Amino acid sequence: MAELASLRVVVHGRVQGVFFRDFTRNHARELGLTGYVRNLPKGQVEVVAEGDRERLGDLLGHLKTGPPAAIVETVEAGWFEYSGKYLSFEKRY
């Protein structure tokens, strides 16, 4: 049985204007995760994802690399209790 969890990630570096949100949404949907990705005012990208803990770990691995045009400098990740409040994975503005 899958262990459900929630993951919040803030990605620092050159991560805006390089299709990072689309990259994240596509991987999250492929992994069957729910939540959202959005740009933050100071140039970071925030990801909140929920689902199977192992698949969340897979998403985290993708976020540490990012799309080809991105330069990921640091990744802050925190694990939380699953809430079940997201129906799909969305790109927010």
> pLDDT tens per residue, the chain (93 residues)?
789 999 999 999 999 999 999 999 999 999 999 999 999 999 999 999 999 999 999 999 999 999 999 999 999 999 999 999 999 999 998
Into how many domains does the chain fold? 1
Q: What is the pLDDT of residue 65?
A: 96
Give the active site residues: 21, 39
Residue 86 lies in a domain: no
Parent domain of 58: 4-80
Query: Looking at residue 37, which CATH number applies to its domain?
Result: 3.30.70.100
Whole-angstrom Cα distance, residue 84 to residue 50?
7
Q: Which of 61, 50, 46, 62 is nearest to 88 (CA)?
A: 50
